[in-house]
Homo-oligomer: A and B are copies of this chain.
Amino acid sequence: MDINGDRVEVAEHPPQLDLYQPLLFDKDSEKAASLALDLNEPSAIGEGNHGINHLAMIGGKVSPIESLDYELIENDLFKQDWRSKKPLETLQYVIVKWTFVFLVGLLTGLVAFGINMAVENVAGLKFVYTLNFMTSQRFALAFLVYAGVNSILVVLAALLCVYVGPSAAGSGIPEVKAYLNGVDTPNVFSFQTLIVKILGSIGSVAGGLIVGKEGPLVHVGACIASILGQGGSVRYGMTWKWLRYLKNDRDRRDLVTCGAAAGVAAAFRAPVGGVLFALEEVTSWWRGPLLWRTFFTTAVVAVVLRTGIVWCKQGHCGLSGEGGLIIFDVSGNPPDSGGNPDLNSGLQDLLPVIILGVVGGVLGSLFNQINGTIIMSSKRWLKKKGKCAKIAQAIVVALITSVCSFGLPWLATCQPCPTTIGFPDEPKCPTHGRTPNFKAFHCPANTYNDLAGLFFNTNDDTIRNLFSKGTNGEFAFSSLLIYLVTAYSLALLTYGIAVPSGLFVPAILCGATYGRIMGMAMRIVYGPGSMDEGIYALLGAASFLGGSMRMTVSLCIILLELTNNLSLLPLIMLVLLVSKTVGDGFNDAVYQLHVQIKDIPFLEEHPLSFMQQLTARDAITGPLVWFSGIERVGTILEVLRSTKHNGFPVIDNTFNNGKDERQQPIFCGLVLRSHLLVLLKKKQFIESREWGHNNLPQVHGCLSSAEFAKPGSGKGVKIHDIHLDIGEEEMFLDLHPITNTSPYTVVETMSLAKAYILFRQLGLRHLCVMPKSSEGQPILGLLTRHDFMANYLLNLHPSLKQSNHKKIHAYPSFRSPSQP
């Protein structure tokens, strides 16, 4: 073994002289070029060597990404701070935290309400004008107005997304997931993104696209939370002292989690569903107190929305105050006008429900697959053609959607108005205005166009139509089939273009449509005693959502809160169980798929199986870059300039107090690049190594942990902000006060799968690998998020490529006895 030799060599060469001590694996220096590297800027050395780049698609834009610091950096400054903490400060912190959580709920609720109002009014006006032309039989003009308004709205949304806030394209949920997994990227939650997301979402939804505002609302909630969590802004003079408490990634993560929960709660008026959505889908780390805090946020959202609805009922909301309730609220349907599924329907409903689940699983996973393929193949094309192509793509999709929604209803045969309608308030038939049911479209008096009721409405109204109870037979089988095929195809095309676009609504639209078809079929099989078509529509929506998004409890609760009918619980549970199981058999959940498409280095909950065959040492590939406890300033500068590493071990082996010649090195801990930069900028240098040892208190006294607080994304000190003269470069810097003496470590023989679990569960950025033997250096290397990525590891160990790479979450701990 070479370790012995290395050790001696290291001990003889003081580290400040030759910087890159080859420690292990130094044979293939080609591979070793970029090691222990954190995810950093795109120009990182060695890009391509691992097959992993440091760039990811954020929204519609390729951005550099970095890891977040969730670990508590326990250096001397922090400890000193901790000891001198006053109870008043804890109180201040608690007050700030809860105030911000409250604000997140309040603002998200208000924004959601505003988006909803805007969509309802803009789309309402559009329909009013179009219908005016239609009633006067000027159909061509009507189409021009309809298609024109749609295109303009969508183009505006696309322009904003392409030129102002590229991070705002898409649903935003993959980006929120990535952030909460520890992946930081500039601008993903910036103020620009927020504004573009809000306006773009209004444009794309009011523009008639098959998209929802639910996913975007999650992003909006996260943006609001993240902006609040920046700890003020020096530029705008908002530097309130209390805000300093939020200047760390841990509190920001908690706030963003609350924001995501608030977004879902606002989108569906489902406070509990929001909490569970955050828990089940969005977050990677969950702490007990978060349940309580997200719950509070969503409660605030619920109250805001309720107040808004009351206000709207008084007629302040223009077209929406009259037309629909805010967001969904299907409880306005007559209670139990159809068969109440609780007790009177027995086992006969189980079979159709299971069939719905299977259909949902198949169609949902197919949706994921095709949508992924479309995005992947258009990605290269769009990269070549540039920004204009994105705008053109949006226009084309908007026009196709307009043509379909205006043209296809002409295929439907006009149906006679029902003579008895189950509704207590007896809606007119046919209607010409905004009322969603029984659209006249081109049909003569006393008949209605059922397909127009699906196509020629806002998506929310279409869903309300599909979910409505007591309306069995309102839609013809052929109409539902045409709508299903069209909506499914349009949804596939639309999700991925450069506008804010949610996936919930398309999924609900498709699912509810085939659910209703199933309901019609069941009415033929079981006669009029079967469940209402509206309930089948709800179950169908659940099945498609389950098949595509693979959530369970949160979807169930959201749908229950949406419909306000708890008696449906067992059936919704069953349908979700079936559709998720079927979908899982085919591919990953849609958001997970998009995380992969976007090249985000996401740490999933379970390690891949081949990691069991590697040890922590196998993932280390290059020379360790480290500092002495008291290091020459020039050396530090040089290292920071030449590498992109974000963490460096600190090793002391300079206590030459004459007793022992061959002093063993001592591992002191880790320093962060950001802390080094702050220290360099402060120029707290010392003359010599010895001076530092004798005068530590003085040096420490000048530093305050507040200066090392982590600023918001992309706001820290940069290496090119540091300007030192030659004399200063020859001085020394005492790294001890900023060295985190409590880094998490693994022993080199630790299997990589277990190291992964440690890294993922604790939300680390750096993981130190320690030697199993007492010989040589006290630390072998650093592992970062990067080193746990499958592509990187498989390039490093090509022999593992053959084996299957299933996630380890369902393996028997012990095999069958091979023993007599």
**Residue positions of A touching B, CB distance < 8 A:** 4, 7, 72, 74, 78-79, 81-85, 89-90, 92-94, 97, 241, 244-245, 247-248, 250-251, 271-272, 275, 279-280, 286-289, 291-292, 295-296, 299, 302-303, 306, 309-310, 313, 335, 342-343, 346, 552-553, 556-557, 560-561, 564, 566-567, 569-570, 573-574, 577, 580, 605, 612-613, 615, 660, 664-669, 702-709, 741-747, 749-751, 754, 757-758, 761-762, 768, 770-778, 809-819
Do B566 and A702 have beta carbons less than 8 Å apart?
A: no
Q: Which of B291, B309, B313, B810 touches A552 (beta carbons < 8 Å)?
A: B291
| Contact partners of A245 in chain B: CB under 8 A | 812-814
| Contact partners of A335 in chain B: CB under 8 A | 335
Do A704 and B774 have beta carbons less than 8 Å apart?
A: no
Q: Which of B7, B346, B773 touches A666 (beta carbons < 8 Å)?
A: B773
A288 and B552 alpha carbons, distance in the complex (Å) = 11
Q: Which 9 pairs show the lowest CB-CB distances between chains A and B?
A: A706-B817, A93-B812, A704-B819, A81-B815, A299-B573, A741-B749, A664-B775, A248-B813, A742-B750
Report the nearest B residue to A772, measured CB to CB: B667
| Contact partners of A775 in chain B: CB under 8 A | 664, 774
Q: Which of B279, B302, B574, B762 touches A757 (beta carbons < 8 Å)?
A: B762
Do B819 and A702 have beta carbons less than 8 Å apart?
A: yes
Report the nearest B residue to A346, measured CB to CB: B310
Q: Which of B83, B92, B299 touches A570 (beta carbons < 8 Å)?
A: B299
Do B772 and A754 have beta carbons less than 8 Å apart?
A: no
What are some 14 contacts across the A-B interface (CB < 8 A)? A78-B814, A81-B815, A83-B613, A245-B814, A271-B573, A272-B553, A275-B553, A280-B291, A291-B553, A299-B573, A303-B570, A667-B773, A707-B819, A708-B814
A580 and B313 alpha carbons, distance in the complex (Å) = 34
A605 and B704 alpha carbons, distance in the complex (Å) = 29
A583 and B128 alpha carbons, distance in the complex (Å) = 55
Q: Which of B560, B709, B773 touches A778 (beta carbons < 8 Å)?
A: B773
Report the nearest B residue to A768, measured CB to CB: B747
Report the nearest B residue to A89, measured CB to CB: B812
Do A90 and B812 have beta carbons less than 8 Å apart?
A: yes
A74 and B768 alpha carbons, distance in the complex (Å) = 20
Report the nearest B residue to A567, measured CB to CB: B564
Do B774 and A754 have beta carbons less than 8 Å apart?
A: no
Do A813 and B751 have beta carbons less than 8 Å apart?
A: no
| Contact partners of A346 in chain B: CB under 8 A | 310
A666 and B666 alpha carbons, distance in the complex (Å) = 18
Report the nearest B residue to A701, measured CB to CB: B818
Do A819 and B706 have beta carbons less than 8 Å apart?
A: yes
Report the nearest B residue to A773, measured CB to CB: B666
Q: Which of B343, B566, B570, B668 touches A560 (beta carbons < 8 Å)?
A: B566
Do B814 and A612 have beta carbons less than 8 Å apart?
A: no
Do B271 and A815 have beta carbons less than 8 Å apart?
A: no
Report the nearest B residue to A287, measured CB to CB: B605
With known contacts A286-B286, A751-B74, A817–B704 Cβ distance under 8 A? yes
Do B299 and A706 have beta carbons less than 8 Å apart?
A: no
Do A561 and B566 have beta carbons less than 8 Å apart?
A: yes
| Contact partners of A669 in chain B: CB under 8 A | 749
Q: Which of B81, B299, B666, B702 touches A814 (beta carbons < 8 Å)?
A: B81
Report the nearest B residue to A310, measured CB to CB: B343
Do B745 and A770 have beta carbons less than 8 Å apart?
A: yes
A546 and B309 alpha carbons, distance in the complex (Å) = 29
A74 and B758 alpha carbons, distance in the complex (Å) = 15
| Contact partners of A757 in chain B: CB under 8 A | 762
Do B816 and A244 have beta carbons less than 8 Å apart?
A: yes
| Contact partners of A746 in chain B: CB under 8 A | 744-745
With known contacts A288-B605, A553-B295, A811–B666 Cβ distance under 8 A? no
Do B815 and A84 have beta carbons less than 8 Å apart?
A: yes
Do A813 and B553 have beta carbons less than 8 Å apart?
A: no
Do A7 and B774 have beta carbons less than 8 Å apart?
A: yes
Q: Which of B251, B309, B313 touches A813 (beta carbons < 8 Å)?
A: B251
Do B754 and A569 have beta carbons less than 8 Å apart?
A: no
| Contact partners of A745 in chain B: CB under 8 A | 745-747, 750, 770
Instruction: Report the minimum CB–CB distance from A610 to chain B (whole Å).
Output: 11
Tell me which of A94, A248, A706, A707 has the highest count of chain B C-beta atoms within 10 A of its own C-beta. Answer: A706
Q: Apart from A245-B813, A287-B605, what are 19 other A-B pairs with CB-CB below 8 Å?
A: A79-B751, A83-B613, A85-B811, A93-B810, A244-B816, A291-B553, A295-B556, A302-B569, A302-B573, A303-B570, A309-B343, A557-B557, A664-B773, A666-B774, A667-B747, A706-B814, A743-B750, A745-B746, A774-B777
Q: Which of B248, B553, B703, B813 touches A72 (beta carbons < 8 Å)?
A: B813
Do B564 and A566 have beta carbons less than 8 Å apart?
A: yes
With known contacts A707-B819, A810-B94, A813-B251, A774–B776 Cβ distance under 8 A? yes
Instruction: Report the minimum CB–CB distance from A497 to chain B (whole Å).
Output: 31
| Contact partners of A613 in chain B: CB under 8 A | 79, 83
Do A770 and B747 have beta carbons less than 8 Å apart?
A: yes
With known contacts A299-B577, A762-B758, A817-B704, A306–B248 Cβ distance under 8 A? no
| Contact partners of A291 in chain B: CB under 8 A | 279-280, 552-553
Instruction: Report the minimum CB–CB distance from A778 to chain B (whole Å).
Output: 5
Instruction: Report the minimum CB–CB distance from A800 to chain B (whole Å).
Output: 12
Instruction: Report the minimum CB–CB distance from A239 to chain B (whole Å).
Output: 11
Q: Which of B90, B560, B758, B809 touches A744 (beta carbons < 8 Å)?
A: B758
With known contacts A291-B552, A811-B93, A302–B570 Cβ distance under 8 A? yes
| Contact partners of A754 in chain B: CB under 8 A | 72, 74, 742, 744
| Contact partners of A772 in chain B: CB under 8 A | 666-668, 778
| Contact partners of A250 in chain B: CB under 8 A | 813
A448 and B703 alpha carbons, distance in the complex (Å) = 77
A149 and B779 alpha carbons, distance in the complex (Å) = 72
| Contact partners of A241 in chain B: CB under 8 A | 816
| Contact partners of A342 in chain B: CB under 8 A | 306
| Contact partners of A743 in chain B: CB under 8 A | 747, 750
Instruction: Report the minimum CB–CB distance from A327 to chain B (whole Å).
Output: 14
A556 and B273 alpha carbons, distance in the complex (Å) = 12
